[in-house]
Amino acid sequence: MRTGARTIVWSAALTVLLGAVVVVSAAIGPVSLDYANVAKATVNTLAVPASAGLSVSSVSLPLLPVSVPVPGFDVGYVHPFSLAVPETDQRIVGKLRLPRIALAGAVGFALASAGTVMQGFFRNPMADPSIIGVSSGAAVGAVAALALPGVVPIGPRWAAFAGALATAFLVYAIATEDGRTPVATLLLAGVAVQTLLGAVVSYLLVLSGDQLREAMYWLMGNLHASTWSDVEFALPVAVLGFAALSAFAQDLNVLLLGEEDATHLGVEVERTKRLLLALSSLVTAAAVAVAGVIGFVGLVVPHMMRLLVGPDHRILLPTSALAGASFLVTADTLARSGPAEVPVGIVTAAIGAPFFLFLLRRREVSAL
């Protein structure tokens, strides 16, 4: 199986690259550490979920004298490795640096997977995960939660997640008529809704007062306050979403031939489109909710990988996802290791845009 073997080789290589990037990144920081110790500490930090339980906590609603029970997952982890590492090193790597690196990896993985699917789905090289308004919706949710904490009862993470999914659904509903969703309509509806939500975000920023700085930071995309709980939120969605999207790799290939051809080749086009949209919106929403709006990862990484491995989604999707993880870990390392920390969104855009222009000049993108 030609494609299968190539997929395995490429994925293995990119996984090794990701491991190397993670270790190098974890060694870089205010305290510089020995690579060997960092590698061991990283291995020690690896955890396997071993037990899971439900817990219920109660949240009181604003303005109402009622508490609402909210279910939560408690997951117990087992750390299978305990290599000998100085305790300080282990603490710096495991508690301070790795949460952020892991989150960057999860977010990059999620955005690149969703970007690959969106580009194939829209048959448009300009498509990225935010194209149907997921990012703008997340921005409205997060900024509202930050600016109006008394009105929005949930934290920015959940508010962003909810805003993202609600917007994706709204755009889908607007573009759908008689069970058919033409991708051109979807694209235009997405652009219009994005513009509208942009206005809402601007207005909320005007209202935000003291919270302006934090809101701006969120909007630029950043990973500076990452915790393991963010990782626990984003990584499972990213991985499960990716697995579900992978099941449609062959359908995505056929969809590239056009929807009518795809119908003739046995793809239930509308149903597949609906599923792909829902899954990639979910994956994007989880990433954006924890990291804010990070542009260009979902756009540039799939293009880069397409040049390297070709357009077949069976190989393109896993390699893009892995490359996206490495890309964002690298970008975030740059973002935090300069003289002053900058939001990672600035770095990805600053690397991504020139690279994209380079591709454009080489006509690699226009040939797509």
Partner 1 sequence: MIDIESVRVSLGGAEVLSGVSASVERGSFVGLVGPNGAGKTTLLRTVSAALTPDSGRVLVDGDDVHALSSKAASRRVAVVPQETHLSFSFDVETVVEMGRHPYRSRFGRKTDADRDAVAKAMERTAVARFADRSIEGISGGERQRVLLARALAQDAPVLLLDEPTASLDVNHQVETLELVTDLVADGKTAVAAIHDLDLAARYCDELLLITDGDLLAAGPPVQVLSESRLADAFDTNAVVSRDGTTGSVSVTALADRPDADGTVHVVGGGETGARVLDALRSAGFGRTAGPLPEGDAAAETARVQGVDLLTSSPFDPIDGEMIDALADRVAAADVTVLADPVVTPGNRDVLSVVRDARTLVVVETRPFEERNHAGEGAREAYESLRRGATVVTEDDVTAAVRELRRTVTAESA
Does 267 sit near partner 1 (CB under 8 A)? Answer: yes
- Which range touches partner 1 (CB under 8 A), out of 59-67, 91-99, 103-111, 245-253? 245-253
Binding residue for partner 1 (CB under 8 A) from 94, 105, 108, 120? Answer: 120
CA 163 and chain centroid, separation: 15
Does the CA dihedral 303-307-310-315 come out positive or negative?
Answer: negative
148/183 with CB nearer partner 1: 183
Binding residue for partner 1 (CB under 8 A) from 146, 147, 254, 328? Answer: 254
Question: Which of 350, 294, 351 has the alpha carbon at shortest distance from 112?
Answer: 294
Question: Which of 156, 162, 294, 144 has the alpha carbon at shortest distance from 230?
Answer: 156
Provide, rounded to whole angstroms, the least separation between the CB of residue 361 and partner 1.
19
Q: Which helix (H) or strand (E) holds 254?
A: helix 249-255
Taking residue 366's Cβ as centre, other Cβ atoms within 10 Å add up to: 10
Question: Which of 125, 343, 109 has the alpha carbon at shortest distance from 243?
Answer: 109
Provide, rounded to whole angstroms, the least separation between the CB of residue 265 and partner 1.
5
Q: Phi then psi for 365, rounded to 5 degrees?
A: -80, -40
222/320 with CB nearer partner 1: 320
Which pair of structure tokens corresponds to residue 158? Answer: 């959940």
Does 269 sit near partner 1 (CB under 8 A)? Answer: yes
Does 147 sit near partner 1 (CB under 8 A)? Answer: no
Cα–Cα–Cα angle for 41, 43, 49, rounded to 5 degrees: 120
- Per residue, what are the HEC states of 160-212? HHHHHHHHHHHHHHHHCECCECCHHHHHHHHHHHHHHHHHHHHHHHHHCHHHH
Q: Phi then psi for 98, rounded to 5 degrees?
A: -65, -35
Provide, rounded to whole angstroms, the least separation between the CB of residue 260 and partner 1.
5
Binding residue for partner 1 (CB under 8 A) from 29, 96, 123, 188? Answer: 123
Question: Which of 286, 211, 214 has the alpha carbon at shortest distance from 244?
Answer: 286
Report d(CA 308, CA 202) in Å as an integer: 40
144/269 with CB nearer partner 1: 269
Binding residue for partner 1 (CB under 8 A) from 8, 184, 206, 247? Answer: 247
Provide, rounded to whole angstroms, the least separation between the CB of residue 121 and partner 1.
11
- Which range touches partner 1 (CB under 8 A), out of 7-15, 97-105, 258-266, 274-282? 258-266
# chain residues binding partner 1, by CB under 8 A: 30
Does 360 sit near partner 1 (CB under 8 A)? Answer: no
Does 311 sit near partner 1 (CB under 8 A)? Answer: yes
Does 177 sit near partner 1 (CB under 8 A)? Answer: no
Binding residue for partner 1 (CB under 8 A) from 9, 257, 308, 360? Answer: 257
Q: Catalog residues that contact partner 1 under the rule CB under 8 A.
A: 1, 4, 120, 123-125, 247-248, 250-251, 253-254, 256-258, 260-261, 263-269, 306, 310-312, 367-368
